């Protein structure tokens, strides 16, 4: 059974989709969420984990002397759960060098745009402002850059003329949650290898 630690910063609906899939499919899904970590208190993502009986931890950047110390604390807390995969599901902080050294090629992120277009914290807003007619979501491995790691899967979502950021983001998230559950399950059950920028799932 593949062990997943998920990191969240907000509402945690992607995490919920994963928890629901595991609840419905049981061991045949191939993965379990062993802990949920966050960079802030009081978010629905943590409440979802607690309701599911999953242990949680929180490290706020402001509680550490510097970003490197925060990064080491995140690394140690995640390592304590010995995960096979780390899932960044709406986690809005850049993971640092210590974290990447510990979990290279094992950190999966989901992003609400078709990378390499519109990376960063405002992928939906940036796509809307640019005026694209099609956007979408990307599930990818995390590297040192901002949303630059090897792409695992993408799905397109149309932009409608009257969309605002909230409406468009919700349309993307409906697709994103399904894609994430599908991709994480396949990575867990079938394994994968990364060659340069290409990800192969047998
Ligand atoms: C998701 O759309 C995810 O792609 C996005 O935050 C949302 C989290 O939703 N992440 C980023 O923008 C990262 N750059 P959720 O908390 O309901 O799962």
Mutation pick for ligand 1 pocket among 112, 128, 152 (CB with most ligand atoms within 8 Å): 112
Range 11-19 average pLDDT: 98
Instruction: Give the separation between CA 35 and CA 187, rounded to whole angstroms.
Output: 18
Position 131 scores a pLDDT of 98
Position 75 scores a pLDDT of 98
- Asked if residue 165 lies in contact with residue 135, where contact means CB atoms within 8 angstroms, the answer is no
For 113-169, write each residue's pLDDT tens digit. 999 999 999 999 999 999 999 999 999 999 999 999 999 999 999 999 999 999 999
Position 82 scores a pLDDT of 98
> Which residue, chain included where needed, has tokens 């595991």?
22
Which run of H or E residues covers position 136? Answer: strand 134-141
* Nearest Cα to Cα of residue 131 among 171, 161, 88: 161
Position 200 scores a pLDDT of 98
> Which residue, chain included where needed, has tokens 């990447």?
100
The chain-wide mean pLDDT, for the chain, equals 98
Q: Which two tokens stand for residue 110?
A: 């989901």
Range 171-185 average pLDDT: 98
Range 181-190 average pLDDT: 98
With a Cβ cut-off of 6 Å, ligand 1 is lined by 8, 10-14, 45, 89-90, 92, 110-112, 121, 123, 173, 176
* pLDDT category of residue 61 using cuts at 50, 70 and 90: very high
* pLDDT category of residue 27 using cuts at 50, 70 and 90: very high
Instruction: Give the separation between CA 103 and CA 92, rounded to whole angstroms.
Output: 18
For 99-110, write each residue's pLDDT tens digit. 999 999 999 999
Q: Residue 194 CB: number of other CB atoms within 10 A?
A: 15
CA of 158 to the centre of ligand 1 (A): 18
- Asked if residue 79 lies in contact with residue 98, where contact means CB atoms within 8 angstroms, the answer is no
């Amino acid at each position: 059974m593949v062990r997943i630690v998920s990191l969240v910063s907000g509402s945690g609906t992607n995490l919920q989709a994963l928890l629901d899939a595991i609840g419905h499919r049981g061991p045949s899904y191939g993965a379990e969420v062993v802990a949920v970590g966050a960079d802030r208190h009081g978010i629905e993502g943590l409440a979802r984990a607690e309701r599911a009986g999953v242990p949680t931890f929180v490290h706020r950047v402001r509680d550490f002397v510097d970003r490197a110390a925060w990064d080491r604390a995140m690394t140690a807390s995640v390592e304590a759960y010995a995960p096979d995969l780390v899932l960044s599901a709406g986690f809005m902080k850049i993971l640092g060098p210590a974290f990447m050294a510990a979990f290279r090629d094992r950190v999966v992120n989901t992003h609400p745009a078709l990378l390499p277009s519109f990376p960063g914290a405002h992928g939906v807003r940036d796509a809307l402002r640019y005026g694209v007619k099609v956007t979408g979501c990307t599930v990818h491995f995390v590297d040192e850059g901002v949303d630059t790691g090897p792409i695992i899967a993408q799905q397109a979502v149309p932009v409608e003329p009257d969309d605002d950021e909230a409406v468009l983001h919700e349309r993307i998230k409906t697709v994103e949650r399904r894609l994430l559950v599908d991709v994480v399950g396949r990575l867990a059950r079938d394994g994968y290898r990364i060659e340069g920028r290409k990800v192969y799932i047998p």
